[in-house]
Amino acid sequence: MAEAIIRASIAKGTLSADQISVSDINEARLQLLKAKYSVNTESSQEQGLSAAELIVIAVRPQDDLNALGQIVQQFASPTATVVSIVAGVTIEKLGGYFGTERPITRVIPNTLTDTGYGYSGVALNAYVIRDQVEDFLLGFGKVQYLEESYIDIFTGFGVAGPNYIYYFIESFVDAGVLAGLPREQAWKVALENMMGAVMMLQQTGLHPRQLLDINNSPGGVGMHGLYELNNSDFAAGLQRSVLAAVKRTTELGVKE
């Protein structure tokens, strides 16, 4: 995810490569990032942290955050904002590692960074000035600011959201092939229908049920298809999937 943020930020121009310093215990990973994006991987942690206005923490929750926090508190300015994308670690816990009075931004990044679409969920502590982090956050997508209590729900619904869309499109294309269309044609039709339907919702401001009513005549083709879809438990299955993802997110936070 850190690489995706670097790639999107540089591509969008919100950051230049010479503004980004990266530290990692994996030397091969550092060399790869330097070769691909020309970011600074040679400065010491002391040099990088002392100059940083934003410190992005992109490690696993099981990694040694306590040791990392000690390094940040030793070398970084107390006004430098920590931006954490560490799954399951709350702002309160982050404050224990990086300083209770340090500006801390907890971000659940979307996985659509290269497209400019998708919301990242963001929770701020009381010391963050939004203007200091917003340009950076908008460099890899859109932003929804949340109460931290909603972060797990946002993760299971919003961040996992593309999974449900990908799976639907795959299944829809397979349905077209099953009915007799060549796969290439079915693929193009599925994508065009998906994008067009989203545009209709945005442009008209109508509820999906209103557009369903407009799109289906009594006893027509569409209504027969929807009848079978309703019988398939599609809606409840999707809702169970979101609830399962939210539950798993909560479990990971407890394990941390």
Q: What is the DSSP string of 4-24?
A: HHHHHHHHHTSS-GGG-B---
From CA 15, how far away is CA 7, in angstroms rounded? Answer: 10
Average of pLDDT values for 200-211?
Answer: 96
Q: Are 89 and 253 in contact (CB under 8 A)?
A: yes
Residue 59 annotated as binding? yes
**Domain 1-146 classified CATH 3.40.50.720?**
yes
> Tens digit of pLDDT for each residue in 102-123?
999 999 998 888 888 889 999 9
**Can you give the length of the chain in residues?**
256
111 or 172, greater pLDDT: 172
Residue 60 annotated as binding? yes
Domain ranges across the chain? 1-146, 156-253
Superfamily of segment(s) 156-253: ProC C-terminal domain-like (1.10.3730.10)
pLDDT band (50, 70, 90) for residue 255: low
Average of pLDDT values for 182-186?
Answer: 97
CA 84, 85, 86, 91 dihedral sign is positive
pLDDT band (50, 70, 90) for residue 249: confident
